[in-house]
Amino acid sequence: MSTSISGFSKLTKSEKIDWIVTNYLSNSSTAKETIVQYFNEDKKLQQLHDEFIENTISNYYLPFGVAPNFLINGKTYAIPMAIEESSVVAAASKAAKFWMDRGGFKTTVISTTKIGQVHFIYAGDFNVLTAFFKNVKSQLIADAKPITRNMEKRGGGILDIELRNKTEAINGYYQLHATFETLDAMGANFINSCLEQFAKTFKTEAKKQRNVSIEIIMSILSNYVPDCLVRAEVSCKVEALKDKHIPAETFAQKFVQAVAIAEVEPYRAVTHNKGIMNGIDAVVLATGNDFRAVEAGVHAYASKDGKYTSLTHAKIENGIFTFWMEIPLALGTVGGLTNLHPLVKVALDILGKPTAKELMQIVAVAGLAQNFGALRSLTTTGIQEGHMKMHLMNILNQFEATTTEKETIVNHFKTNIVTHSAVVSEIEKLRR
């Protein structure tokens, strides 16, 4: 029967495993074997992984793949991806090869501003608060100097601090809305440290004023970064979109229509954007960045006009097909896991040790390529044909197929439609 425990974090890893196995796992011997088999034999490397988070009992592996042939602004990249979903790397690679022969991807970093806020309550006169803020603003920046000094030496730091009145939403609610430039760092720790110092100074200075009484609620960065934007696009003559399944002009028109549907239909837009994030998250994860923060910010951006819509856009003008996306991406290439995880170092090395701006462009391209690949399949053969062929090996592994069985069945489905039931039928036929 399941049970609670005090002091779990103080147990050794071995004791944690034994407790979990005894109290929560039905097949204790097999479960412990599974947990232990994912340990790294290199004890130093294992300790490094153990110290990334708390209460570790093992490692959880994801496939680490590479999608080659990405031509971005005239430079060729092989893009590392960490993801478990079948067909993502294949689709990205196929889209990269397709556009390499048509001029490649063009990208531009539009802006790199990041945001943090001090949230507080004030019940007095807004004019009094405004005057107080104007007087204390320079002190807020000055008191944060020990935190910002090194960032400023590299060209970053605090860009501005604004007082924002949010009392229409919540009675007495105001913000210190701060903007930052963090260069090659994602900047979460830097921003949060600055914000907490702002709050400390703001509260201290307010106490010196008889008519300014504030209550700090919290100080935290925002993962919504609508001013940390990158644009990625591809374009070519419509006739260059020739496909063996469909005429070029028909394909272009269907593709543009498919994007238009995602722009107006939220049910489609969510799945459409999920496909974009297949490519983005895989590279974000491989390069040691925070894919949850990126996901949250991207989906908020997709709703910025009051309705959830497509992140990508497409058009045909004067015989030219153009497919593009502007997307917020707060990424880093220094700090955090980028300095610690050995495979993250490899991933960044594969990419030529990019700056944060360069990584923004690479990640955006991965998302655009993924979306192009998905829409190309949807508007021609349908998405299941390619996806299920990639998923075939997962089904075979689920049934513990031998090498010989795999070869026979893979060969069979080169000319037959892959479905789960069809694969099971073939396995059973072979084993009879």
Enzyme catalytic residues:
85, 274, 290, 387
Measure the CA angle with vertex 160, ends 158 and 164; round to 5°: 130
Q: Other CB atoms closer than 10 Å to residue 306's CB: what's the count?
A: 6
Output the 3-class SS for 231-287: EEEEEEEHHHHCECCECHHHHHHHHHHHHHHHHHCHHHHHHHHHHHHHHHHHHHHHC
Please name every residue paired with 327 in a beta bridge, in sequence order, or none if there are none.
230
Q: At a CB cut-off of 8 Å and minimum separation 6, what does 399 contact?
A: 424, 427
The secondary element (H helix, E strand) that includes residue 346 is: helix 342-350
Q: How many angstroms separate the CA atoms of 236 and 259, rounded?
A: 17
Phi, psi of 8 (to 5 degrees): -60, -40
Q: How many angstroms separate the CA atoms of 228 and 68, rounded?
A: 27
Measure the CA angle with vertex 35, ends 30 and 37; round to 5°: 90
**Sign of the dihedral through C-alpha 284, 288, 289, 290:** positive
Exposed/middle/buried for residue 209 (C-beta within 10 Å: 0-12, 13-18, 19+): middle
Q: How many angstroms separate the CA atoms of 411 and 416, rounded?
A: 9
Q: How many angstroms separate the CA atoms of 51 and 43, rounded?
A: 12
Q: Other CB atoms closer than 10 Å to residue 169's CB: what's the count?
A: 7
Exposed/middle/buried for residue 80 (C-beta within 10 Å: 0-12, 13-18, 19+): buried
**Sheet with 157-165: strands ordered across:** 157-165, 173-181, 114-122, 214-222
